[in-house]
Amino acid sequence: MGTIEIVSMVAAIILVLNVILASLMVFFERRKPSSTWAWLLVLFFIPVLGFVLYLIFGRDSKREKVFKAKSKYDKDVYYKYLFHDNHSAKKVQEQKKIVANGGRILDSDYLTDLAYLHINSGNWITFNNRVKKYIDGPSKFKALIEDIRAAKEYIHMEYYIIRGDELGKEIVHELALKAQQGVTVRLLYDGMGCRTLRKSFFRELHDAGGQTAAFLPPLILRLNYRNHRKLCVIDGKVGYIGGFNIGNEYMGLVKRYGAWRDTHIRIEGDAIDQLQIRFMMDWNFTNKKSQVPLTEYYFPRRMQFEGVKMQIVSSGPDTEWKNIRNGYFKMMNEAEDHIYVETPYFVPDDGILEALRVAALSGIDVRIIIPGNPDHFFVYWASMSYLGELLDAGVRCYQYEKGFIHAKAVFVDGSVASVGTANMDIRSFDLNFEVNAFIYDESTVKSMERDFVRDLDNCIEITKEWYHTRKWWFRLKESIARLISPML
C-alpha cells in the first residue's frame, strides 16, 4: 500500500469518526442549539484538532449519569437529614409556610422571592450570622491559619487548586500539626486543578493521620466537571467561602499577575451547616472508604443572636437546577437602582446577557469589571465581544489594571450580594461544581459595594468610542472566540 493510499485511508477514518461523533452529539446529547452548531463547525472544519478538543472540552454522558444519581442521592439522604431529621427542618418549614401565606421572610417581596427560589433548591435562609470579608490574600490566609491553629475537633477543607509552593506547603504543614494533636483533618481537592502536585506533597499530612481525596482525577486532559468550590469548616464554628485558591499567586507573589484582588468571607453562625453539608456530599461521593457520618456532632446548635441573613447555594452537574445562575438572573431582573458585577470571566448565557441589557435600557446603573491582565486570552476575547453588545445598551464596562481581579461577585441595590466561586460564564453555570453565599444584609452589602467603587479607581473604562474603533485583528479574535464560546 502506497503513501497516498495510507493517507487517504487515515483521512477517511477521521471523516467517519467525525460523522459518528457529530451524529451522537446531535441526536443523543441534550445540548443547546448554539453549542451543537459550534461543535459541528469545529468537527467538520478542523477534524483532527476538533476531535482532540472534543476529548478535552466535550461532555461525558457516563459521568453525567453519575452526577444525576448523585443529585438524587444528595436530596434523598443529606437534604432529608437536614430538612426532616435535623433541627433545620423546623426553620425550613416555617419559611415555606410564611411565603405560602403571602408573607415575607426578608425586608421586601423581591428579597423574599429570591430567598424562596433558593429554599426550593434546598438552601434555607439563616438569620444569625457574623460575616467578615477579605479582598487580599495575606489577610485571608492569616485568618485561616489562625483558625486552623485554634481547631479542637475537625477541619474540613475543599479547594479547586492547591499549589506545591510556599503557601501550599504552609497550609499542609499547619494541617499536619493539627492532625498530630488528634484533630480530624479532611482535605478535598480537584483532580485537574491539582494535577501538577506530586503524590509526596501530602506525605507529612498523611503521616500525621490526616486524610486527603482527589475529586475526579482526570484519566485524560479533561476540563469539564471540575470541582471549583473553595470552602472550609472548622469545628462547626467557623466557615470560609469565596474565590481564593491556595497558592502564591493568591498572595500577590507571582509577577505574572501582580497584586491579586479577590473576595472571600469568614462566617460564624447557622450558615456553616450548609457549608458542612456541601463538604460532606462532595467528600463522601469522592471517598467511599472513609465517609463523614450524618450526626449532630457536625451540626451543633448555636446562639440565636441577630445577625447577617444569608444562604449558601450550590450548583453544578450534581444539582437539579442552575441555582447560582438562576439567583443571578433573579437579582438582575428585580434591580431598581444598580447592578455591579466583578468576574474574571464574562461569557454569559443568553438569559443573563438579556437581563443585563434590559436593566441598562431601563435606566439602571449597570457596571461590569473584568481583568485587564487576563489569565486566559481566549476567554478575554470572548468576554470583550459580549461586553461590546452591552455597551450600546448603556452598560459601563471596565478593565482592572492593578494586578489581577479574580472576585466573583454580584451586588444589587445595596440590599443583596452574591459572592463565592461561580464566574459569570457558561462553564460555571452548567459544567463546574460551584458554591456561593447570597447575603441579605444592607450593611454588609454596602461595604462590599464600596470596595467595588474603589476598584473603579484602578480600572480603565471600555468606552463605546474605543470599542468601535478597535483594530481588525482584535475584531477577528473576538469573532472566533465568540463563535466557539458556546462549546464551553
DSSP 202: G
What does residue 161 show for φ and ψ, rounded to 5 degrees?
Answer: -125, 130
Coil, strand or helix: which one is 144? helix
Q: Are 186 and 292 in contact (CB under 8 A)?
A: yes
Residue-wise DSSP of 392-414:
TTT-EEEEE-SSEE---EEEETT
Three-state DSSP class for residue 277: helix
Q: How far is the C-alpha of 190 from the C-alpha of 212, rounded, in Å?
A: 11
Strands 264-268 and 409-412: unpaired
- Cβ 88 vs Cβ 273: under 8 Å: yes
CA distance 330 to 112: 11
- Element holding 466 (H helix, E strand): helix 464-467
Rounded to 5 degrees, φ, ψ at 25 are -65, -40
Q: Which of 133, 228, 309, 330 is catalytic?
A: 228
Q: Is 207 a catalytic residue?
A: no
Catalytic status, residue 406:
yes
Q: How many residues does the chain have?
A: 488
Per DSSP, what are the bridge partners of residue 367?
Answer: 340, 396
* Cα 276 to the center of its chain, rounded Å: 17
Buried b (16+ CB within 10 A) or exposed e, 218-240: beeebebbbbbbbbbbbbbbbbb
Euclidean distance between CA atoms 238 and 241, whole angstroms: 10
Q: Which of 60, 165, 235, 365 is catalytic?
A: 235
**Which is the catalytic residue, given 74, 413, 425, 430?**
413
Q: Which of 178, 264, 322, 408 is catalytic?
A: 408
Active site residue 408: yes
The one catalytic residue among 140, 230, 309, 330: 230
414: left (phi over 0), alpha (psi -120 to 50) or beta: left
Longest dimension (CA), the chain: 82
At 459, give phi and psi (nearest 5°).
-120, 160
Catalytic residue among 70, 178, 264, 406: 406
Place of cell 472548622: 234
Q: Is 230 a catalytic residue?
A: yes
Q: Residue 327 — left, alpha, or beta (φ > 0 → left; ψ -120 to 50 → alpha)? A: alpha
Q: How far is CA 439 from CA 328, 411, 444, 474, in A?
A: 12, 10, 8, 38
Count of other CB atoms within 10 angstroms of residue 476: 11
Q: Using only the alpha carbons of the chain, give its radius of gyration.
A: 23
Give the residue from 431, 422, 448 showing the smallest Cα distance to 314.
422
Name residue 266's amino acid: R
> What residues are labeled active site?
228, 230, 235, 406, 408, 413
